[in-house]
A = this chain, B = another copy of it.
Amino acid sequence: AFKRSVPPMPRSPLAPGSFPALPPVAGVGLAVGRWGGYPTRDRDDLVLAVFDAGTTVAGVLTRSRTASAPIHWCRAALPGGRARAIVVNAGNANAFTAKSGDLLVDTTVDRAAALFGCPRTEVFVASTGVIGQRIQAPDAIAAHLPALAAAAAAAPAEPEAATALWRAAALAIGTTDTYPKGSAATATIDGTPVTIAGIAKGSGMIAPDMATMLAFVFTDAALPAAVLEALVGPINQRTFNAITVDGDTSTSDTLLVAATGRARHLPVTAADDPRLAGLAAALETVMRDLAHQVVRDGEGATKFVTIRVSGAVDAASARRVGLAVANSPLVKTAIAGADANWGRIVMAVGKAGEPADRDLLSLAIGGLPITACGALVPDYDETPVAAHMRGSEIEIGIDLGLGDGAATVWTCDLTQRYISINADYRS
């Protein structure tokens, strides 16, 4: 009853050129397989990541009040701060599946904990795909774990093979994504090189029922769980929490960042340790890159939009103003139409509910000033602004003139194709 036949999505016009080179991360084993989430399609749909003992983890989970069974499990396990395995499946979100959903999670976690000889709270799970469809066999995923564990133990160290494996994993966790998403960076801690690599999936809250943003980022840095958590929270606010495709919130959004500790730097005990500045910057680069790739795969997107808000009372207020603009259907449709319709930006700023003063507001599009102090700039010429709007990378600047709070958010335009993708007959 829940199948629908959609033609394969063409690759997003905003997609990056190709999947980047991703190195192996010391202490991380990776394997890709099939549990049967897409019985009629020739594609993988299961990923296992295995970590060395002692690996720390931090994460951010959806705030949805109708969260999936895997989210409930991760919420309970995350405070432990340790991870030995992450099991990710596509093809079934295991959301709104009542007790059968919890049983599926429990069985998967039990099997992984036994395989790796770790406490149950060191096994994390994430699911994406159809919701409300029960999985009959509680071991539907667990049954594949022994073979995946064996494969993960033999994960390649050679760069090209490693990239191919990362890419396969990014493809396996995808649903309606039109391209696999990966990113990597290196940094040093006290002169010791550390590696960060991650994959993500997501393209708005998309069919068949709803989709999800999943992101998994791994590093060989040695970071206590509390330090990792203190690093990840603020970076997440500036990256994954600063993007929006349609303002809808998944039941299953998951970001997990794991640190294996295999890099041989001296211990760090505080997130504000200046020796972590390079790692923090590299982690933000990877997370921002993955976040941008999700936006660039937004359903029907033809333009990538950067909204920079300054002059707010604080950074949180700036971010909320930016998201109000980014989520406004009228702003997003104007962008789709290459319409320099700055009045809609004013409207969206006004509806954010944040401190704003009409007579202090300045707007710019593509760096070109449009309004200052609450009115159109003298001799405003729309021609160059309209030319910018016809491009595929749109820049909107908003200065509230109140304080020094600033934030940047990213979104895409809202096109007829978004409607046709999401209004397709399913029944």
Interface residues of chain A, those whose CB is within 8 Å of chain B, are 1, 62-67, 95-98, 100, 130-132, 134, 205, 209-210, 246-251, 327-330, 333-334, 336-344, 346-359, 361, 371, 373-376, 380, 382, 385-386, 389, 414-416, 418-420, 422-427
- Per the bound structure, the CA–CA distance linking A386 and B343 in Å amounts to 39
Cβ of A210 and Cβ of B65 under 8 Å apart?
A: no
Whether A385 contacts B98 in the complex (CB less than 8 A), given A248-B329, A343-B209, comes out as: no
Cβ of B347 and Cβ of A250 under 8 Å apart?
A: yes
Give which listed residue, B250, B327, B343, contacts A131 with CB less than 8 A: B343
- Copies of this protein in the assembly total 2
Cβ of A65 and Cβ of B96 under 8 Å apart?
A: no
Report the minimum CB–CB distance from A345 to chain B (whole Å).
10
- Per the bound structure, the CA–CA distance linking A370 and B364 in Å amounts to 48
Cβ of B422 and Cβ of A65 under 8 Å apart?
A: no
Residues of chain B contacted by A356 (CB below 8 angstroms): 65-66
Chain B residue, CB-CB nearest to A373: B98
Report the minimum CB–CB distance from A14 to chain B (whole Å).
17
Whether A385 contacts B250 in the complex (CB less than 8 A), given A132-B346, A375-B96, comes out as: no
Cβ of B131 and Cβ of A330 under 8 Å apart?
A: no
Residues of chain B contacted by A337 (CB below 8 angstroms): 422-426
Give which listed residue, B248, B333, B358, B425, contacts A348 with CB less than 8 A: B248
- Per the bound structure, the CA–CA distance linking A131 and B358 in Å amounts to 13
Residues of chain B contacted by A100 (CB below 8 angstroms): 375
Report the minimum CB–CB distance from A9 to chain B (whole Å).
16
Shortest 9 CB-CB distances between A and B: which pairs? A337-B423, A66-B350, A64-B350, A249-B351, A98-B375, A333-B422, A209-B343, A65-B356, A386-B427
- Per the bound structure, the CA–CA distance linking A331 and B134 in Å amounts to 22
Please name 24 pairs of A and B residues whose Cβ atoms are closer than 8 Å in the assembled complex, sorted by A.
Answer: A65-B351, A65-B353, A65-B357, A66-B347, A66-B358, A67-B358, A96-B376, A98-B373, A131-B347, A205-B330, A209-B343, A246-B329, A247-B327, A248-B328, A248-B344, A248-B351, A329-B329, A330-B422, A333-B422, A336-B423, A415-B423, A416-B419, A416-B420, A418-B419
Residues of chain B contacted by A248 (CB below 8 angstroms): 328-330, 344, 347-348, 351
Report the minimum CB–CB distance from A212 to chain B (whole Å).
10
